[in-house]
Amino acid sequence: METGRDIVLELDHLTIKFGGLVAVNDFSLRIEKGELVGLIGPNGAGKTTVFNIVTGQYEPTQGSVLLEGKDITGWRPHLIAAAGIARTFQNVRLFTGLTVLDNVLVSQHLRLKSHFLSAALCLPSYSNEEQRARANAMELLERLELVPYARELAGNLPYGQQRRLEIARALATCPKLLLLDEPAAGMNPEETARLMRFICKIRDEFDLTIFLIEHDMKLVMGICERIRVIDYGISIAEGAPDEIKKDPRVIAAYLGEGGE
Amino acid sequence: MSLETFIQQLANGVSLGSLYALIAIGYTMVYGILRLINFAHSDIFMVGAYFAFFLITVFHLPWLLSAVLAIALTACVGMAIDRIAYRPVRNAPRISALITAVGVSFFLENLGLVTVGARPKPFERPELMARVVRIGPAAISGVSIWVPILSVGLVAILLYVVYRTRLGMAMRSVATDIDTTRLMGVNVDTVISYTFAIGSALAAAGGIMWACKYPQINPLMGIYPGWKAFTAAVIGGIGNITGAMIGGFLIGLIEIMAVAVFPALSGYRDGIIFGLLLVFLLVRPTGILGETLKEKV
């Protein structure tokens, strides 16, 4: 057996079929602790589907998902979240009607032990915990520079801040692994540059392993240590950014087979 | 109309409206979270009244204790219905859940007819509810005073739970985006279960108070109040708790006042309400406070 040093996520021969469509085919990947890995590929290649399998929204037809060596294939999403995987979405999906603080607090359910019922009855054990949860949430908002917005409704935030809040909300679950689905979507180059620094910062500060999908090549090439390319649900290449840029299969997938 | 009659009718309308509001909240909460019209809700209302009836007459418990126990038992019934009937079809197309809800409704009605019989049973109301109170020139029955007060109290508790507690926060986040709430580590099934419990408890409270107002109960007693409360929820803007309350009071007042002002229309009191539902569905289908629903991708 290999002695992979601290493998956080291991995807082992994942395949998922929707009817006759094979969306992801025999996809394997290992991500080590602290790595920043990018997943790229043309539209419809199955990138988000991979994320949906990892977070438990889809159950793979075959293959398994291991988090720190533990098989979590087919677990229900809330248990996977509790086990330490968090994600953001391609199109921001915040709880728009809740305040910024409450958005972050929703996930505090994970850490709060007291039952809903004791919460509803306002037992003392609950209110202590509740205060701690609020303090935690505020601290998180402070680290992500969102404190000025704490009492505002999430839906009223400017777009860039909404993206940041979505990451904050994911971090509130105390993940070991953070999945970012196109974090730079809809951002201008300047915002993207700021986002790149931000992603590197949170990885170090929160001791995270990050797996991200992105179309913005500058971002992917700029921050990812390793890039995996898929097309039509099949892995076609893997390597460091420089290798990927030159890989003929990748160029073909993106630009089409050159007909000369 | 004399001042005396007006006050009496107003009290009557407000108390009826507050009952509609209580039931409407149950419809609207479940819809807000699951996009499901829980047709069984009107029968849960009936079940609540029967639980109270049996606790009082068969087990000879004090009235207030019976009412509280009946509400708790009905909450459990609501949770059981969700667990047994709705959870298995949660990922099925929405129409399946809707048909299931109609099925549960018929099941409860007919179960009632078979087990307790179709004959109406007299419901014993506490002295406080029966006593007549004088307000100015008008004599008003205690029911019309206490029902709105109790209802408003219950709604206040509900609003506290929804807007000030963790459970409420989870309910609001499930209503916005059920999948993302799961990813936050929230066990969505538990949240839905509690939503059914709360909605059913309010329906039971409504059922018991309804039985105090119209002290005869039968297994089909929920149908008309249920439909009207549903109308109230739609008119208020389905999915919106405040809207359901506004809708409830509005429907109660319109129903009573229309007949009070035009006694000739008394045969049409249900027709007026359902006509109003049609008008709203045509003119403003999102209701008074409802937002336009974005179809989820």
Our CA dihedral for B271, B276, B280, B281, rounded to 10 degrees, sits at 0
**How far is C-alpha B234 from the geometric centre of its chain's CA atoms?**
13
Q: Residue A259 pLDDT > 50, yes or no? A: no
Residue A2 in any domain: the answer is no
CA distance B184 to A81: 6
Residues of A in contact with B170 (CB under 8 A): 106, 109, 116
pLDDT > 70: what percent of chain B?
A: 98
A75 shares a domain with A25: yes
Least confident of A120-129, A215-224, B215-224, B256-265: A120-129
Query: Does residue A92 fall inside a structural domain?
Result: no
ipTM (interface predicted TM): 0.78
Q: Which chain A residues touch B185 with a CB distance below 8 Å?
A: 78, 81-82, 107, 109-110, 173
Q: How confident is the model at residue A257 (pLDDT cuts 50, 70, 90)?
A: low
- Judgement on whether residues A114 and A228 belong to the same structural domain of the protein: no
Average pLDDT over residues B218-234: 95
pLDDT digits (tens, 9 = 90+) for B32-87: 999 899 999 999 999 999 999 999 999 999 999 999 999 999 999 999 999 999 99
- Domain containing A25 — which CATH number? 3.40.50.300
Percent of chain B with pLDDT over 90: 71
Could you tell me which of A173, A220, A238 has the C-alpha nearest to residue A38?
Answer: A220
pLDDT in tens, B232-249: 999 999 989 999 999 999
Mean pLDDT for B218-228 is 95
Within this chain, do residues A196 and A243 fall inside the same structural domain, yes or no? yes
Shared-domain flag, residues A22 and A127: no
On whether any CB of chain A is under 8 Å from the CB of B123, the answer is no
Report the candidate in B292, B252, B193, B286 with the shortest Cα–Cα distance to residue B24: B252
Residue B178: closest CA among chain A residues belongs to which residue? Answer: A95
End-to-end Cα separation, chain A, in angstroms: 46
pLDDT at A109: 66
DSSP for A147-168, written as a single string: GGGTTSBGGGS-HHHHHHHHHH
Domain shared by A17 and A128, yes or no: no
Place of tokens 């998922």: A16
- Read off the pLDDT band of A107 (50, 70, 90): confident
Q: Which residues of chain A make contact with B290, given a CB cutoff of 8 A?
A: none
pLDDT at position B150, please? 94
**Separation between Cα atoms, residue A194 and residue A202, nearest integer Å:** 12
Residue-averaged pLDDT of chain B = 92
Q: What is the mean pLDDT of residues A221-249?
A: 90
Instruction: Identify the band that residue A228 occupies on the pLDDT scale cut at 50, 70 and 90.
Output: very high
> Any chain A CB within 8 A of the CB of B169?
yes
Give yes or no for residue A244 having a pLDDT over 80. yes
Domain co-membership, A32 together with A149: no
Looking at residue B3, its pLDDT comes to 85
Specify the number of domains making up chain A: 2
User: Domain residues of chain B, as ranges?
Assistant: 3-283
Same domain flag for A228 and A123: no
Calculate mean pLDDT across residues A106-135: 68
Domain that residue A133 falls in = 98-160
Considering only CB atoms, A109 lies closest to which of B170, B177, B179, namely B170
pLDDT computed for residue A260 by the predictor = 40
Q: Do B169 and A98 touch (CB under 8 A)?
A: yes
Q: Identify the pLDDT of residue B36.
A: 92
Residues of A near B (CB-CB distance < 8 A)?
A: 55-57, 76-78, 81-82, 86-87, 89, 93, 95-98, 102-103, 105-110, 112, 116, 119-120, 122, 130, 169, 172-173
Q: Decide if A120 and B165 are in contact by the 8 Å CB cutoff.
A: yes
Together in a domain, A106 and A43: no
Contacts of B190 in chain A (CB under 8 A): 116
Residues A138 and A115 in one domain: yes
CB atoms within 10 A of CB B262: 11
Mean pLDDT for A185-207 is 90
Q: Which helix (H) or strand (E) holds A85?
A: strand A85-87
Note whether B216 contacts A: Cβ–Cβ < 8 A: no
Percentage of chain A modeled with pLDDT above 90: 56
The pLDDT tens digits for B237-285 are: 998 999 999 999 999 999 999 999 998 888 898 999 999 999 999 999 8
- Distance, in Å, from the CA atom of B123 to the CA atom of B140, rounded to the nearest integer, reads 20
In B138-167, the residues whose Cβ lies within 8 Å of chain A are 161, 165-167
A207 occurs within a structural domain: yes
Percent of chain A with pLDDT over 70: 89
The answer on pLDDT for A116 being more than 80 is no
Protein fold of B3-283: ABC transporter involved in vitamin B12 uptake, BtuC (1.10.3470)
Q: What is the pLDDT of residue B129?
A: 85
Residue B93 exposed, middle or buried by CB count within 10 Å (0-12, 13-18, 19+): exposed
What's the pTM value of the predicted model, to 2 decimals?
0.85
Question: Is there a single domain that holds both residue A155 and residue A179?
Answer: no
Could you tell me if B76 lies within 8 Å of chain A, comparing CB atoms?
no
Q: Over range A174-179, report the average pLDDT.
A: 94
Residue B84: C-alpha distances to residues A188, B76, B90, B101, B112 (Å): 50, 12, 11, 11, 18
Report the alpha-carbon distance of residue B170 to residue A108 in Å, rounded: 10
**Closest Cα in chain B, distance from residue A170 (Å):** 7
Both A183 and A146 in one domain: the answer is: no
